[in-house]
Amino acid sequence: MKARAFSYFRAGTIDEALAAHADAGDDARFIAGGQSLVPALALRLQAPRILIDINHIDELRSVRREGEWLRLGALTRHCEMLTEPLVAEFAPLLRAAAPFVAHPAIRNRGTLGGSVALADPASEFPAMVLALDAEIEIAGPSGRRCVKASDFFIDLFETALAPGELLVAIRVPLFRSNQRIAFDELARRRGDYALVGCGMIATLDRDRIADISIALFSVGNVPTRARSVEAVLVGSSLDAGRIAAAQAALSADLAPADSDDVPAAMRVHLARVLLGRLLGRLGEVR
Ligand SMILES: Cc1cc2nc3c(=O)[nH]c(=O)nc-3n(C[C@H](O)[C@H](O)[C@H](O)COP(=O)(O)OP(=O)(O)OC[C@H]3O[C@@H](n4cnc5c(N)ncnc54)[C@H](O)[C@@H]3O)c2cc1C
């Protein structure tokens, strides 16, 4: 199959991109890395009249520290998550997730903004953005706004982005020396989308958990915070009994649907196993 014919506009600024989208209305799509959009065009799952290329907009680039935040431009490529020293130092959870995203060729082009804007529930970065309590900077025809990650993911492939709005950057709180992270996923083959994945960031007070944020992916229509599990863990140390209690609490946070290849009960089981492993690792790191 081939994509339907479309026109192409290379935007040089955010304003140019927004104006081009406003002119074309529902028939336009922004293109960033193209690693999800181009296959969708080829399969005619999407057939826009115009593609607006945002790859040449300088304001969407760069990773920099802004006060207590690390600001990652929407065009930050997945591969840069592995090489950018600021990400390793201040957003190690994103760094830990990056090797699990697809394959090197896709990571060379795919962007953080594209991944979060698409909001595939099986993707690593949307869930980690949720775990980090990130803020998402958006530009649209009526100006700029900022949305908390907890308000951004609404339903399957549906986000707080209105049609014609552009994701500009993602800001994550700076990682601190009393924090620990853990990330892993279970997939049939390395590089495949996960059957279930999980990432967490904990703030420690000596051997106790003062605060913890846990997000799972591939467990429903949207990336999911494990708030019942978090409540079980806060104030405790990570001994075997507490980890078992956390695993038991996970059923209250997840309600995956049966799919053709993975029954819901199996997905919950895998999530519980993964959660136990990650909490065990978190407990070992001091
Ligand atoms: C074989 C294969 C395996 C993959 N495996 C994984 C995987 O394991 N994990 C994973 O997370 N992903 C995976 N991906 C997807 C990949 O990570 C994509 O790069 C990512 O999902 C989208 O980023 P992109 O920059 O390529 O976006 P594009 O494909 O350019 O765009 C995707 C969508 O987001 C919109 N968009 C893009 N940027 C913006 C923006 N700044 N503001 C508003 N809207 C925007 C576009 O209009 C489009 O609707 C895989 C892809 C392939 C082809």
Residue spans of the domains in the chain: they are: 7-53, 58-171, 182-284
Residues whose CB is less than 8 angstroms from the CB of residue 163 and which lie 6 or more positions away in sequence, other chains included: 25, 26
pLDDT mean over 27-33: 96
Radius of gyration over alpha carbons of the chain, in Å?
19
Q: Does ligand 1 have an atom closer than 6 angstroms to the CB of 74?
A: yes
Distance CA 154, CA 161 (A): 10
pLDDT for 285: 60
CATH of domain 182-284: 3.30.390.50
Expressed in angstroms and rounded, the spacing between residue 118 Cα and the centre of ligand 1 is 6
Q: What is the pTM of this model?
A: 0.96
Helix ranges (H only) for 1-111 are: 14-24, 37-42, 78-83, 85-90, 92-97, 104-109
Q: Does ligand 1 have an atom closer than 6 angstroms to the CB of 39?
A: yes
Q: Is the pLDDT at 286 greater than 60, yes or no?
A: no
pLDDT for 83: 97
The fold of 7-53 is: 3.30.43
pLDDT for 26: 84
User: Quick one: pLDDT band at residue 25, thresholds 50, 70, 90?
Assistant: confident
Q: Does ligand 1 have an atom closer than 6 angstroms to the CB of 110?
A: yes
User: Quick one: pLDDT band at residue 115, thresholds 50, 70, 90?
Assistant: very high
pLDDT mean over 162-187: 97
Q: Does ligand 1 have an atom closer than 6 angstroms to the CB of 224?
A: no
Task: Quote the mean pLDDT of the chain.
Answer: 96
CATH of domain 58-171: 3.30.465.10
pLDDT mean over 110-137: 98
